[in-house]
Amino acid sequence: MRMIDLRSDTATRPTPAMREAMARAEVGDDVLGEDPTVRDLEEETARIVGKEAALFVSSGTMGNQLAIATQTRPGDEVVGGEGAHPVLYESAAGAALSGVQFQVAGRGGFFNADDLEASVQPPQYWHPRTSLVALENTHNRAGGRVWPAQMAVAVAERAHALGLSVHLDGARIWNGSVASGIDVATMCLPFDTVSVCFSKGLGAPVGSAFCGSRAAVEQARRFRKRWGGGMRQVGILAAGALYALAHHRARLADDHANARALAEGLAKTQRARVEVQGVETNIVNIDVQASAQAVSAKARTMGVLLQATGPSRLRAVTHLDVSRTDIETAVELLGRAISSARGE
């Protein structure tokens, strides 16, 4: 049975054309700075993001952790929104690798400049020193919502006025840009450092980038090596990412339309609640009057994979390998899965 995989936009397989580009990639030893395809990818990413330099890294987690390592000292505090990736989903790497702790600002993933200021510690030596603020755009746990542009600018300005550095976890900044119509560089402008992922909506098999000033990237290069992330003929992977940047950005609008169609279909389903207006990009949160685990298990037997993210909440994510027909099938099957799972 072919599965319709809505668990994450990381589930994509490289397309034949992407595989072809990867197979043809010119390579060299990237630890020695001699991989031409990696250099091309880093230059192209820095250009799109609007920063001086970029560093190809293995994952979004490494990108975020490089931001923390380069902009904090052990014992510092990092402010992030509720449900932020480095706070919840990076195996406590901030504590383990950089010796920082986290403070959550606002509710629901977003926060304004006053929320930020309220979460910054007073200067007495017995408090942790707040040194970095991280925003996530689009916000995964908040259902792929895009940060209101003015609010992001105001938070970054206040952070700088308070002497803090500002990082953007832009794993899905490509989706945010397509949805808002604002170009990626403008969205990244208020931030000192930015991490972006090629392996989510863009459909590359592996890879992310850490972007910032040339000095920040050179400092990050040392951490990447220290953490075992110095890769050799990695141009094969960089070629997939370059292909994705060139060919898979504009089509994200299709994923967004598919997510909206899924949300609208499920909103009509009994015992399911979806905030259709909140579906701005490719992520749909579905609240069900049933056990989310039971719905997910039932859906799996019918050929639809999605994640239970709470006792009664499921998450579905659209991507390159999900067509409009798949969405229509998924709406029908999920409707049945929800009604049959309800008393369990």
Ligand X SMILES: Cc1ncc(COP(=O)(O)O)c(C=O)c1O
Residues that bind ligand X (CB under 6 A): 59-61, 64, 85, 136, 140, 169, 171, 197, 199, 208
What is the phi/psi pair of residue 342, to 5°? -60, -50
Which lies closer to ligand X via its Cβ, residue 14 or residue 265?
A: 14
Instruction: Quote the least distance from Cβ 41 to ligand X, whole Å.
Output: 16
Which lies closer to ligand X via its Cβ, residue 144 or residue 190?
A: 144
Single-letter code of the amino acid located at 280: E
Q: Which residues pair with 291 in a beta bridge?
A: none
Q: Which pair of structure tokens corresponds to residue 64?
A: 């975020």
Instruction: Quote the least distance from Cβ 84 to ligand X, whole Å.
Output: 8
Instruction: Quote the least distance from Cβ 167 to ligand X, whole Å.
Output: 11
User: Of the candidates 66, 65, 71, 41, which has an alpha carbon nearest to the alpha carbon of residue 53?
Assistant: 41
Indicate the residue whose CB is closest to ligand X: 60
Which lies closer to ligand X via its Cβ, residue 292 or residue 317?
A: 317
Which lies closer to ligand X via its Cβ, residue 65 or residue 269?
A: 65
Pinpoint the alpha helices (H) of 195-311.
Answer: 214-226, 235-247, 252-267, 292-302
The burial of 298, by beta-carbon neighbours within 10 Å (0-12 exposed, 13-18 middle, 19 or more buried), is given as buried
- DSSP three-state, residue 22: helix
Cβ atoms of residues 177 and 72 within 8 Å = no
Which lies closer to ligand X via its Cβ, residue 85 or residue 298?
A: 85
214-226 and 60-71 helices cross at what angle (nearest 10)? 110
What is the phi/psi pair of residue 321, to 5°? -95, 15
Instruction: Quote the least distance from Cβ 130 to ligand X, whole Å.
Output: 21
Which lies closer to ligand X via its Cβ, residue 115 or residue 169?
A: 169
User: Of the candidates 171, 164, 174, 230, which has an alpha carbon nearest to the alpha carbon of residue 195?
Assistant: 171
